[in-house]
Amino acid sequence: MLQVRMTGLCRPNRAKISGIFGRGDMKLYLDSGRAPNPRRVRIFLAEKGVTLPTEAVDLGGQAHKTAAYRAINPMQRLPALVLDDGTVIAESIAICRYIEALHREPPLFGEGALEQALVEMWQRRVEFHLLTVVSHVFRHLHPAMAPLEVPQVAAWGEANKPRVLAFLEFLDGELAGRPYVAGPRFTVADITAVVAVDFMKPAKIAVPEDLAALRRWHAEVSARPSVAKER
């Protein structure tokens, strides 16, 4: 039976993983659909050309709340990466950084002090001010989220819609002067941004027609095989 060390999580002791998730060594736990955070990791792996054993966790069926999955990630979130020695890495960007350290090419977190700092800055900006905000709208307004988001606060969902549009306008201005979010080449910041913009569709937020630079960027990034495949 697989032994899992809960490193950096709220259960420091070792736990046994069993039940519906089976047994094995290194494994990446993802959703069975297109949730935004697992999708970020899928796109990142595709860009790297890295393939990992995966296991689908049914979010709609609340499989992430079962005892079996809580033994892997007590925070009951996806994705989670279980290493060969049982160490668990949760959080999308943490998993991506681990993969980046093992597979340097292409450098999706940048190279050198300046580029890495800029990529980090823009990754955080699009995650905190776009993806997270779109998620608030979706989680608090979409009827399908009612069993998972308790309580749903419709006023909070509505309050975040203008914040999404304000950041899109800001990002459009930035993209008018460069091809990608953080600079001249595709990075993890673009992965987070395209996932966020695509997530606007189920959140029922339209991209304004007049944001020409944003639309140009989105079309180009969406044509990448890694993004198109994981749509």
78 and 35 Cβ atoms separated by less than 8 Å? yes
The pLDDT score that the predictor gives to residue 55 is: 94
- Enter the pTM of the model: 0.88
Homologous superfamily of 3-102 in CATH? Glutaredoxin (3.40.30.10)
The pLDDT score that the predictor gives to residue 119 is: 98
The confidence band for 138, taking pLDDT boundaries of 50, 70 and 90, is: very high
Which runs of consecutive H residues, i.e. helices, occur in 5-111? 36-48, 67-70, 92-102
Cis peptide, bond prior to residue 38, ω within 30 of zero? no
**Identity of the residue numbered 152:** Q
SS3 at position 58: coil
Give the pLDDT mean for 201-220: 98
Fold that domain 112-229 belongs to in CATH = Glutathione S-transferase Yfyf (Class Pi); Chain A, domain 2 (1.20.1050)
The residue ranges of every structural domain in the chain are: 3-102, 112-229
What pLDDT, in 10s, does the model give residues 55-91?
999 887 888 989 999 999 999 999 999 999 999 999 9
User: Do the bridges between strand 3-5 and strand 27-31 make them parallel or antiparallel, or are there none, so unpaired?
Assistant: unpaired
The pLDDT score that the predictor gives to residue 13 is: 34
Structure tokens at 106: 């292409």
The confidence band for 12, taking pLDDT boundaries of 50, 70 and 90, is: very low
Helix axes 132-141, 188-199, angle to 10 degrees: 20
Give the pLDDT mean for 157-164: 98
Cis peptide, bond prior to residue 106, ω within 30 of zero? yes
What pLDDT, in 10s, does the model give residues 22-45?
445 799 999 987 899 999 999 999
